[in-house]
């Protein structure tokens, strides 16, 4: 593996697309994966999450399909997916954001789904949902941290929005019981 580096989420797709040379049976071959990835799409409310990609590669025994489930060329398990993915091929990019939209309810995304309903998944979760569903399920199974603040430190703006930290409502004094 290369020396640790931080890659903003916006640049992750390009890095992964260029690094992907071949996939065989879910095993990455010749893939120059970054050791660390910065997940920063909510940096206005939360500090960026420094995702230790190298550690997760080791934990999955270098089986990229564990996380990058629909990009490795494996045949889908669900029958409804076979409509379009009967003969799956490795994707050009394994970046989550290439399939899971940051804003699933953006007008442009909804128009595209309506125009070609079989081309787009109407039930696909957004990017944050994909991360949380995948990450939390594995973290629960492995006994890893699952609390929000364990991965996401709120910024001052986040504290203000969620009425937390210095912006938390004052505690009411407890009434004395006689």
> Of all residues in the chain, what percent carry a pLDDT higher than 90?
20
Domain count, the chain: 1
For 141, the token pair is 């199974």
List all residues 6 or more positions away from 57 whose beta carbon is below 8 Å from its beta carbon.
33, 64
Helix (H, G, I), strand (E, B) or coil at 154: strand
pLDDT digits (tens, 9 = 90+) for 42-75: 888 999 999 999 999 898 888 887 888 767 777 6
**What is the token pair recorded at 109?**
């995304």
Q: How confident is the model at residue 28 (pLDDT cuts 50, 70, 90)?
A: very low
Residue 66 forms part of a structural domain: yes
Structural domain range at position 24: 9-167
Counting beta carbons within 10 angstroms of the beta carbon of residue 127, is it exposed (0 to 12), middle (13 to 18) or buried (19 or more)?
buried
* Beta carbons of 41 and 60 less than 8 angstroms apart: no
Domain contains 57 = yes
State the average pLDDT for the chain: 74
Nearest to 28 by CA among 66, 2, 62: 62
Residue 2 resides in a domain? no
In this structure, is residue 121 part of a structural domain?
yes
Q: Is residue 176 part of a domain?
A: no
* Beta pairing, strands 49-52 & 36-39: antiparallel
Judge whether 69 lies within some domain: yes
Q: Is residue 174 part of a domain?
A: no
Tell me, yes or no, if the pTM score tops 0.85.
Answer: no
Asked whether residue 157 carries a pLDDT value surpassing 90, the answer given is yes
> Is residue 103 in some structural domain?
yes
Phi (first) and psi of residue 125, to 5 degrees: -80, 155
């Amino acid at each position: 593996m290369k020396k640790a580096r931080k890659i903003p989420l916006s640049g992750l797709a390009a890095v992964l697309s260029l690094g992907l040379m071949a996939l065989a049976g879910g095993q990455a071959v010749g893939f120059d994966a970054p050791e660390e990835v910065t997940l920063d799409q909510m940096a206005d409310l939360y500090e960026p999450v420094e995702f230790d990609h190298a550690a997760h590669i080791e934990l999955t025994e270098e089986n990229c399909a564990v996380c990058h489930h629909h990009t490795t060329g494996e045949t889908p398990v669900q029958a409804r997916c076979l409509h379009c993915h009967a003969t799956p091929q490795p994707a050009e990019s394994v970046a989550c954001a290439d399939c899971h939209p940051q804003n699933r309810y953006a007008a442009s995304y909804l128009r595209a789904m309506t125009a070609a309903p079989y081309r787009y998944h109407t039930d696909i979760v957004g990017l944050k949902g994909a991360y949380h569903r995948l990450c939390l399920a594995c973290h629960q199974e492995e006994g890893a941290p699952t609390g929000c603040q364990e991965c996401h430190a709120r910024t001052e703006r986040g504290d203000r929005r969620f009425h937390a930290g210095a912006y938390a409502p004052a505690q009411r004094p407890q009434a004395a019981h006689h």
